[in-house]
A and B are shown apart, each in its own frame.
Chain A
Amino acid sequence: MTNAPTGSRKGAAIDIQACSKFYGNFTALDDVSLRVEPGEFMSFLGPSGSGKTTTLNLIAGFTDLSKGEIRLGERPISNVPAHKRNIGVVFQHYALFPHMTVAKNVAYPLRQRGVAKAERDRLVEGALAKVHLEKFAHRYPSELSGGQQQRVALARAMVFDPSVLLMDEPLGALDKKLREVLQLEIRRIHRELGSTFVYVTHDQEEALVLSDRIAVFNKGRIEQVGTGHQLYSNPQTLFVGQFIGESSILRGSHRVNGAETALDIGGTPISAPGTPKSDGAQVILLRPEDVAVQAPGTGAANGRGNVIQGTVREAIYLGSAMKYEVLLADGTPIVARTATQGEAFGIGAGIELAWKPEDGRLLTDDGSIGGH
Chain B
Amino acid sequence: MKRFNPGRLILGLTVALIALWLLAPTIVVVPMSFADKKSLAFPPSGFSLKWYENFFTNPQWFNSFTTSLKVAVMVSVVATVIGTMAAIGIERMKSRTAGLIRMLLITPMVVPGVVLAVGVYAVYLTQGLVGTWTGYVLAHTLLAIPFVVIAVGANLAVFDQRLETAAASLGANRLTTFFTVTLPLIRPGILSGALFAFVTSFDEVIVSLFITSPQLKTLPVQIFSSMTRDADPTVAAVGSLIFLTTTLVIGLGLIFGTRKGRKS
- Is B168 within 8 A of A91, CB to CB? no
Question: Which residue on A lies nearest to B180, using beta carbons?
Answer: A108
Q: Quick one: which of A86, A91, A140, A156 contacts B263, CB cutoff 8 A?
A: A140
- Is A99 within 8 A of B184, CB to CB? yes
Q: Quick one: which of B166, B170, B180, B264 contacts A142, CB cutoff 8 A?
A: B264
Q: Chain A's nearest CB lies how many Å from the CB of B187? A: 9
Q: Which of B138-169 contact A (CB under 8 A)?
A: 160, 162-163, 165-169
Indicate if A22 sits at the interface (CB-CB under 8 A). no
Question: Which residue on B lies nearest to A114, using beta carbons?
Answer: B171
Complex alpha-carbon distance, A36 and B162, angstroms: 26
Indicate if A235 sits at the interface (CB-CB under 8 A). no
- Is A108 within 8 A of B170, CB to CB? yes
A97-B181 in contact given A82-B169, A89-B166, A113-B171 (Cβ < 8 Å): yes
Q: Chain B's nearest CB lies how many Å from the CB of A71? A: 19
Provide the B180-192 mask, 1 if CB < 8 A to any CB of A, else 0.
Answer: 1100110000000
Provide the A57-85 mask, 1 if CB < 8 A to any CB of B, else 0.
Answer: 00011100000000000000000011111
Q: Quick one: which of A60, A87, A88, A112 contacts B176, CB cutoff 8 A?
A: A112
Q: Chain A's nearest CB lies how many Å from the CB of B182? A: 11
Residues of B within 8 A of A62 (CB): 165, 168-169
Q: Quick one: which of A83, A113, A157 contacts B168, CB cutoff 8 A?
A: A83
A-B contact count (CB 8 A): 63
Q: Chain A's nearest CB lies how many Å from the CB of B6? A: 44
Residues of A within 8 A of B180 (CB): 108
Complex alpha-carbon distance, A98 and B162, angstroms: 12
Residues of A within 8 A of B30 (CB): none
Indicate if A109 sits at the interface (CB-CB under 8 A). yes
Q: How large is the interface on B (under 10, 10 to 19, 20 to 34, 35 or more residues)?
A: 10 to 19
Indicate if A95 sits at the interface (CB-CB under 8 A). yes
Q: Quick one: which of B163, B168, B171 contacts A160, CB cutoff 8 A?
A: B171
- Is A88 within 8 A of B264, CB to CB? no
Complex alpha-carbon distance, A81 and B169, angstroms: 10
Complex alpha-carbon distance, A157 and B168, angstroms: 12
A89-B169 in contact given A97-B163, A98-B185, A140-B264 (Cβ < 8 Å): yes
Residues of A within 8 A of B263 (CB): 140
Provide the A106-136 mask, 1 if CB < 8 A to any CB of B, else 0.
Answer: 0011001100000000000000000000000
Complex alpha-carbon distance, A95 and B185, angstroms: 13
Q: Quick one: which of A88, A93, A98 contacts B169, CB cutoff 8 A?
A: A88
Complex alpha-carbon distance, A199 and B226, angstroms: 73
Q: Quick one: which of A86, A96, A98, A112 contacts B172, CB cutoff 8 A?
A: A112
- Is B171 within 8 A of A83, CB to CB? yes
Residues of A within 8 A of B26 (CB): none
Residues of A within 8 A of B169 (CB): 60, 62, 82-83, 85, 87-89, 157
5 tightest Cβ-Cβ pairs between the two chains A and B: A112-B171, A95-B166, A109-B170, A89-B169, A82-B168
Q: Return 9 A-B CB contacts under 8 Å, by A number.
A: A62-B169, A81-B173, A82-B168, A89-B169, A97-B167, A97-B181, A108-B170, A113-B171, A160-B171
Binding site for A on B (CB under 8 A): 160, 162-163, 165-173, 176, 180-181, 184-185, 263-264
**11 further contact pairs, Cβ within 8 A, besides A82-B165, A93-B162, A97-B181:** A61-B168, A83-B169, A83-B170, A83-B172, A83-B173, A88-B169, A89-B166, A95-B162, A97-B166, A109-B170, A112-B170
